Amino acid sequence: MTAIKKLTPSEVTNLWQSYLTNTMSYPVTQYFIAKTQDEELHAILEYAEEIAKIEVDISKAFLEEANHPLPQKFDQNDVDIDAPAICTDNFTGIIKYQLSQAAHIVYSLSLSTSTRKDIREFYQECLKNSAELSNRLADFIIKKGLHHPEIHIPTPNHAEKVSNQRFLAGWFAERRPINTAEISQLVFNFKATELHKTFMKKFAQVTPSKKLKKHYERGVEILQKHLDIFQSILTENDLPKLPTWESELTDTAVSPFSDRLMLYKMTLLTSEASGRYGTSLSSVQRRDLGVHYTRLMAEVLKYGEDSANLMIEHGFMDQLPLAKKE
């Protein structure tokens, strides 16, 4: 009789999320493949579909081998491939690029928190696949002129030492120009938040649920405020205005996705936003920027809690295994 291979709590969580997220990614990617006209993007999406299927099968096998129950998967019942396109090919490429970047971060964490060698090897392969997908999408976006504007700052003649503690301040006359790390975080957060907001705006348009529509519209308002803050700081520092993507949405009000799928996707994106803000908070050196990220992170965490409550209310959320059965 074959012994059951035990999993640590981290491995259970990692595999559970990999299985659930990739069962969502697989049919959603099939939908975008069906709507995409661009041949290069079509081939990239087929690669994304292929790796999603592989990662579903392997994560499922690990969980079943350990006798762990599986969460309710997403499948063809959650995606209507015959529904009209919700966005242009350009926006599809941008969305998939941002999601592949987020997946890379998740897989890196899964690798570092897993113990078993076979599971670590699985996440090492996932990392390789997500990097390959991200690079293909980056090439596509750059070729299409969508990776703009390029931001450049003056190159100093030499590295300077910080000579005054006012370097850390950020209020009124004491405010120094933002540095390269702060620019990088602002631009990264703006781009990811803009995609999140645009996606949410489309979900508000197509959901048949009045309650969820109101929830998504509230999310759009929150994220628009965040975008205004990021752009205002960049503008103060004579940096360019970053693009928005609402013009890449179509007018269709027909939803290709189930409410369960859309709400789950919003909880993932909101969780990623709070993680990004936390990372930015730890890296910025101007105090006013730290205050912004602290406040914005609190707002997305509250919105994420409201999203989780809606998941529970609608019976959409499966419970991860607990430490002790009550």
Alpha-carbon distance of 5 to 315, in angstroms, equals 31
For residue 144, give the DSSP letter.
T
Give the chain's domains with CATH numbers.
9-143 (1.20.1260.10), 170-313 (1.20.1260.10)
pLDDT for 171 beyond 60: no
Determine the pLDDT at residue 152.
75
320 to each of 143, 188, 317, how far by Cα in Å?
A: 42, 31, 9
For the entire predicted model, the pTM comes to 0.89
Alpha-carbon distance of 295 to 222, in angstroms, equals 12
The stretch 50-72 carries a mean pLDDT of 96
Q: Across all residues in the chain, what is the average pLDDT?
A: 91
Alpha-carbon distance of 104 to 110, in angstroms, equals 10
Q: Tally the C-alpha atoms within 13 A of residue 138's C-alpha that lie toward its C-beta.
A: 8
Per the CB < 8 A criterion, the answer to whether 267 and 101 are in contact is: no
Tokens of 9: 């709590």
Determine the pLDDT at residue 1.
45
Determine the pLDDT at residue 22.
97
Q: Name the more confident of 4 and 48.
A: 48
pLDDT for 196 beyond 90: yes
Determine the pLDDT at residue 285.
81
Tokens of 307: 């999203």
Work out the angle at residue 83's Cα, subtended by the Cα atoms of residues 92 and 202, and round it to the nearest 5 degrees: 50
The stretch 169-187 carries a mean pLDDT of 78
Determine the pLDDT at residue 148.
77
Q: H helices then E strands: how many in the chain? A: 8, 0
Per the CB < 8 A criterion, the answer to whether 200 and 219 are in contact is: yes
Least confidently predicted of 8-12, 81-85, 318-322: 318-322
The stretch 128-154 carries a mean pLDDT of 89
Alpha-carbon distance of 143 to 146, in angstroms, equals 8
Predicted confidence (pLDDT) per residue in 213-257, tens digit: 999 999 999 999 999 999 999 999 999 999 999 999 999 999 999
